[in-house]
């Protein structure tokens, strides 16, 4: 029964990596679970805090290069734990700065080298030009809308699945036409916005994967009234770059 099912959300680095309102992603997941009668447990883990091993979905936001350098050693201490959670099928949604840090390497524009965790097979190099603006991405979870603001150019290894194909904007690097990455149940993307409120199909995909992993739940999720979400997405779709 739905009401006996509980999903634990953990916001990783809610204070240290959260420069463009990515907390809205946590709110959206919580709302879309509670509205369907699921129980939700909302946790936070910043520098030095433990991540509960009951976690089902980990959400992490964006950050300036300085923020990424600030969390670097804490993130490295979590490498074994994060990789084991990823291997175990825990769902991740990582945005921009944390997305970059879950690759193999991020070299900032000023030349600081940060070894990533290797969840995604990609590397990122800071550039002198920032990629900023509204972005539209064709993905298996619908046409995604958001905005991007990054200097990092991310290049996927040949075996790394992207989240989608750029229809408007830059995406991973402004050259290869791909945006984001998916590895098992880990999602990485440059889309701020926050991404989930205006992209309900993607939010529900994360929820679906978490329920399937934890309870083997594969029923169709109850439809929610997404008229506001879809109206906001339609407006975002028409915004200039
Ligand atoms: N500091 C990274 C970059 O500039 C990430 C930025 C972000 O999280 N928006 O590429």
Position in ligand 1 atom list of the atom nearest CA 124: 10
Stretch 215-224: mean pLDDT: 96
pLDDT per residue over 19-58, tens digit each? 888 999 999 999 999 999 999 999 999 999 999 989 999 9
Q: Name the pairing type of β-strands 57-60 and 91-95.
A: parallel
Choice from 19, 59, 60, 64 to test ligand 1 binding pocket (greatest atom count within 8 A of CB): 64
pTM above 0.85, yes or no: yes
**Cβ atoms of residues 208 and 78 within 8 Å:** no
> Is the pLDDT score of 3 beyond 90?
no
Predicted confidence band of residue 204 (pLDDT cuts 50, 70, 90):
very high
Q: pLDDT category, 175, cuts 50, 70, 90? A: very high
- Using the predicted structure, report yes or no on whether residue 195 has a pLDDT greater than 90: yes
CB atoms within 10 A of CB 189: 29
Write down the catalytic residue from 70, 96, 109, 150: 96
Among 97, 106, 132, 146, say which to mutate for ligand 1: greatest number of ligand atoms within 8 Å of CB. 97
Q: What is the pLDDT of residues 148-164, one digit of tens each?
A: 999 999 999 999 999 99
Of all residues in the chain, the percent with pLDDT exceeding 90 is: 97
53 among known catalytic residues: no
Residue nearest to atom 3 of ligand 1 (CA): 150
Average pLDDT on 120-144 reads 97
Query: What is the reported pLDDT for 4?
Result: 87
Give me the chain's average pLDDT, please: 97
Which position among 11, 86, 150, 192 bears the catalytic label? 192
Residue 1 has pLDDT above 80, yes or no: no
């Amino acid at each position: 029964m739905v009401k006996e099912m509980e999903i634990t959300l953990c916001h990783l680095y809610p204070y240290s990596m959260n420069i463009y309102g990515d907390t809205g992603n946590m709110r959206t997941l919580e709302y879309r679970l509670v509205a369907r009668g699921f129980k939700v447990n909302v946790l936070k883990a910043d520098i030095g805090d433990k991540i509960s091993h009951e976690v089902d979905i980990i959400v992490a936001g964006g950050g300036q290069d300085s923020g990424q350098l600030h969390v670097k050693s804490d993130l490295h201490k979590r490498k074994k734990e994060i990789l084991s959670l990823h291997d175990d099928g825990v769902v991740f949604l990582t945005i921009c700065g944390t997305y970059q840090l879950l690759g193999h390497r991020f070299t900032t524009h000023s030349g600081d080298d940060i070894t990533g965790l290797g969840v995604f097979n990609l590397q990122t190099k800071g550039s002198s030009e920032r990629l900023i603006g509204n972005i539209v991405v064709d993905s298996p979870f619908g046409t995604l809308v958001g905005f991007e603001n990054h200097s990092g150019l991310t290049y996927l290894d040949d075996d790394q699945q992207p989240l989608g194909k750029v229809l408007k904007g830059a995406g991973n690097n402004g050259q290869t036409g791909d945006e984001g990455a998916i590895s098992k149940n880990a999602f990485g993307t440059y889309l701020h916005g926050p991404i989930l409120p205006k992209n309900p199909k993607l939010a529900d995909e994360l929820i679906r994967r978490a329920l399937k992993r934890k309870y083997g739940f594969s029923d169709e999720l109850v439809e929610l009234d997404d008229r506001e979400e879809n109206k906001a997405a339609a407006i975002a779709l028409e915004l200039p770059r």
